[in-house]
């Protein structure tokens, strides 16, 4: 059996790499990731200019690519598929700005209410922090570590993968799992917390 660690994946074209990915070859996936991440990020950043949102969009696109590896059939080049997927995510983000604006208004009202009574100010802030930290604490250890590195230390997926010596795909899976758990446990309010990153400001 061929040792994947000695295969030079960059000699293969996209079509060949996709055939490997369909057979669960994560190193072939890493090659696709390395080949397109920077280009896709630049494409997204030139349009919305928000680093965190761009990284999340690219993450979602690659997670989707891996998740659908067994059923994905492309009638166009992979590059076309990836750029189209990113464009679709950008459009969704732009449309969601109306929702985010509504969240922002609600958030400001919430913040104002925290400071209405100065005697309760610190207690309310602590309660909010405890609520968020409790939900984060429920995450599996490695998932929690990756999430904190991303949200608290502002490390990119590439930087986290390098520091923890894990693949980009594994980092993406941890982040997706973390965000799904937090939104599930905290409900709609989680959208405010994640978007404004409240817990880092306490």
- Evaluate whether residue 102 is within a structural domain: no
Q: Are residues 92 and 5 in the same domain?
A: yes
- Evaluate whether residue 76 is within a structural domain: yes
Q: Are residues 143 and 77 in the same domain?
A: no
> How confident is residue 30, by pLDDT bands cut at 50, 70 and 90?
very high
Lookup: tokens for 18: 């996709």
Q: Are residues 132 and 71 in the same domain?
A: no
Q: Are residues 74 and 1 in the same domain?
A: yes
**Burial of 124: CB neighbours in 10 Å, binned 0-12, 13-18, 19+:** middle
Average pLDDT, the chain: 78
Q: Are residues 78 and 138 in the same domain?
A: no
- Evaluate whether residue 103 is within a structural domain: no
- Evaluate whether residue 109 is within a structural domain: no
Q: pLDDT tens, 163-179?
A: 999 988 888 888 888 87
Instruction: Estimate the crossing angle of helix 168-186 against helix 189-196, to 10 degrees.
Output: 130
Q: Are residues 146 and 185 in the same domain?
A: yes
| Sign of the torsion formed by the C-alpha atoms of 104, 105, 108 and 113 | negative
Q: pLDDT tens, 179-201?
A: 777 777 766 455 445 544 434 44
* pLDDT, greater one: 27 or 50: 27
Which residue range forms the structural domain that includes residue 61?
1-96
Separation between Cα atoms, residue 133 and residue 64, nearest integer Å: 28
Q: pLDDT tens, 60-83?
A: 899 999 989 998 888 889 999 999
Q: Are residues 52 and 126 in the same domain?
A: no
Q: Is the pTM of this model over 0.75?
A: no
Q: Are residues 14 and 92 in the same domain?
A: yes
């Amino acid at each position: 059996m061929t040792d994947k660690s000695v295969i030079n994946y960059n000699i293969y074209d996209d079509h060949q790499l996709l055939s490997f990915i369909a057979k669960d070859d994560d190193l072939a996936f890493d090659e696709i990731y390395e080949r397109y991440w920077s280009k896709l990020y630049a494409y997204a950043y030139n349009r919305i200019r928000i680093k965190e949102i761009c990284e999340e969009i690219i993450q979602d696109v690659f997670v989707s690519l891996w998740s659908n590896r067994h059923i994905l059939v492309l009638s166009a080049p992979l590059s076309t598929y990836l750029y189209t997927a990113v464009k679709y995510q950008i459009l969704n983000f732009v449309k969601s700005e109306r929702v985010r604006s509504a969240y922002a208004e609600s958030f400001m009202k919430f913040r104002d209410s925290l400071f209405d009574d100065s005697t309760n100010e610190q207690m309310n802030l602590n309660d909010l922090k405890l609520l968020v930290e409790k939900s984060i604490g429920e995450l599996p250890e490695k998932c929690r570590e990756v999430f904190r590195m991303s949200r608290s230390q502002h490390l990119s997926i590439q930087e986290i993968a390098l520091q923890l010596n894990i693949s980009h795909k594994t980092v993406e899976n941890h982040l997706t799992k973390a965000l799904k758990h937090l939104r599930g446990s905290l409900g709609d309010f989680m959208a405010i917390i994640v978007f404004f990153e409240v817990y880092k400001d306490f």
